[in-house]
Structure 1
Amino acid sequence: MTIGVALDATGADNQIDGSVRLAHEAATAGLRSAWFGQTFGADSPQLAAIVGREVPALQVGTSAIPVFGRHPLLVSSQAQTAQAATHGRYHLGLALGTKLLTEAGFGIPHERPIARLREFLTALRQLTETGTADFHGELLTATTPIPARVPGAEAGVPLLVAAMGPQALRASGELADGILPYLAGPRALGEHIVPAVTAAAEATGRPAPRIVALVHGVVTDEVDRVRDKAAEQLAFYEQFPSYARVIGLSGGRRAVDVAVIGDERKVTAEVQRYRDAGATEVVFSGTDLAGEADRLRTWALLGELAG
């Protein structure tokens, strides 16, 4: 099983330099991958390209670019550039986005997200695999009057989706290479998410999907204090039905209930639970919750488990 971390250097004086420094530390600790979220700030594929080129020991990925407010031609260009820059170590994550951020940020309606995801994946697959597209859907058109291939990215780009609901899982199993579930505990993963996406892939003759489980957690002795801090940070996600649903399926009431916070024994046991539930990769986020010392302690343990 690959074990990685989500890197967040937004508190650094220079986010790019800070991300590279953190990536070097992650590689030294024995971690295998570094992932970057997409916000209205730094461009995640560019950040992954820079970090992946500077730290060749790591796989790098985006988790995840919303399909609203973007176009497959532009995302393909970003992804292929990152793939060429890292010599095949880039992984692209897509997301449905949320009504709140889509409509408040872009001023466009968040309508028919599953249909948009399907069309986006179909057009994007053509572009990343062949450098051409001739796609005319209900919501999107993507054609290539001039070539869209980036030399050096001929191997294509793995396409993953931050999918957790039934329709998104079906679309991901049929059209993507895997999923990036977040705040989905082992119970939700093993009983609902993995069976659904695997069945969809099998029905269309696709290979078994990758299950990259994003886990919010840290190794610490100050469990109560860190749990309270995590509860504040994660409360944002509780307003969205998709997250609320998967937290409930995981046996929790609040997002913090699926966070992994404790000593080395506790975290090791939880990583094993994710493995048993079908995760092919585990990526830890929030490892800076308890401060620098516990972040390094967490990365040391995860590096051992990755080895």
Structure 2
Amino acid sequence: MTVGVAIGATGTGNQIDAGVRLAAEAAAAGLRSAWFGQTFGADSPQLAAIVGREVPGIEVGTSAIPAFGRHPLIVSSQALTAQAATHGRYHLGLALGTRLLTEGGFGIPYERPIARLREFLTALRRLTETGTADFHGELLTASTPIPAHVPGAEAGVPLLVAAMGPQALRVSGELADGILPYLAGPRALAEHIVPAVTAAARNAGRPAPRIVALVHGVVTSDPDAARAAATEQLAFYEQIPSYARAVALSHHHRHRHGGGQQGPDRMFRTVFVLTYIRTELESNVRHTEPRGTTS
């Protein structure tokens, strides 16, 4: 097992400079990878490419780019450029996104997400491995009248999917190199998510998938403040079925017997680790900022 860190927007200062600085600090501390999310702000493949270029040795990746609102030709171009810039240390993470952000942000109907994921991965695999494609699906077309090679890019960018539901896990096992589960506790991972994607990969004749689990943690002397901040941030995910399911699976035994908590606080207790500062470092803790990490 290796451990990395997910680096988000810092809120102040230059985000690109901060990303490079934080990744360098992570590498110096022995962390092996840095991952960058995608919203409507900074372009995560560009950010990963810059960080990987500036911080030698660290693996970088996106976690994750929504398949809605993007096209495989564009995403392939971004991924191959990042792969060339980092000399083979880039990992491309994809996600299904959410209905709220897809329809509200892009004005695109959030329809047939699993079929879109399958077609997106099929076209993207061909593009990243060969630099060409002639794919014509029900939802997507990706054809290259001229080659889409990026000289210097390693053949085959690792493709990971932020998958947790049964159908997404099956498609990911068949077509991707691994998954990026988020907000899934140890029980959900060990008993449901990892077995499902591993079986799908085995049935498709593919190697065992890489599992990059994003796990929140916070070091604080004020657990109540940490809980309040985390609960507020996690409330959004409670309304998304795949995330709510992952949390529920982690509590399956307790809820089957009528115990356990509901809502964002249950989600918080599933995925967050609280460390109480009891040493001389306590005086240096001035704020609470939950950080996502990968392992």
Q: TM-score, normalised by structure 2?
A: 0.89
Instruction: Name the aligned partner's letter for residue 238 of structure 1.
Output: E
1:166 aligned partner: 166
How many residues align structurally?
A: 277
Change in Cα spacing, 1:225 to 1:187, as seen in structure 2 (3 Å) is: same
User: What's 1:229 paired with?
Assistant: 229
CA distance in 2, matches of 1:97, 1:88: 26
* Alpha-carbon shift at residue 236 of structure 1 (Å): 1.2
**Which residue of structure 1 aligns with residue 38 of structure 2?**
38
Matches of 2:57 and 2:132, distance apart in 1: 31
Structure 1 CA distance, aligned partners of 2:207 and 2:50? 30
- Residue 205 of structure 1 aligns to a residue whose secondary structure is coil
> How far apart are the structure 2 equivalents of 1:225 and 1:259?
16
Cα deviation, residue 259, structure 1: 2.5
Equivalent position SS for 1:183 = coil
Match of 1:51 in 2: 51
Q: Is the 1:62–1:92 contact (alpha carbons within 8 Å) kept by the matching residues of 2? A: yes
C-alpha displacement at 1:292, in angstroms? 6.6
Query: Comparing 25-34 with 73-82, which one deviates more in the overlay?
Result: 25-34
Unaligned runs of 5+ in 2: 252-260, 278-283
CA displacement, residues 137-174 of structure 1 (integer Å, 9 cap, x when unaligned): 00001011001010111322000000000000000000
Q: Give the drift of 1:58.
A: 1.1
**Structure 1: gaps spanning 5 or more residues:** 266-289
- 1:262 and 2:274 aligned: yes
1:240 and 2:252 aligned: no
Instruction: Compare 1-10 and 175-184 and name the one that shifted more.
Output: 1-10
Q: Residues 51 and 292 of structure 1: is their aligned pair in 2 closer, same or farther, counting only changes over 3 Å?
A: farther
Larger of the two Rg values belongs to structure: 2
Residue 263 of structure 1, CA deviation: 2.5
Q: Is the 8 A contact 2:219 2:288 kept in 1?
A: yes
Aligned ranges 1:99-138 → 2 under 5 Å = 99-138=99-138
Q: CA deviation at 1:241?
A: 1.3
SS at the partner of 2:116?
Answer: helix
Which region of structure 1 is more displaced relative to structure 2, 222-231 or 70-79? 222-231
* Higher normalized contact order (CA 8 Å, seq sep 6+, divided by chain length): 1
- Call closer, same or farther: CA 1:96–1:291 in 2, change over 3 Å: farther
Quote the offset at 1:24 in angstroms.
Answer: 1.2
Please tell me the root mean square deviation across aligned C-alpha atoms, in Å: 2.3
Give me the whole-angstrom Cα distance separating, in 2, the residues matched to 1:221 and 1:30.
24
Q: TM-score, normalised by structure 1?
A: 0.85
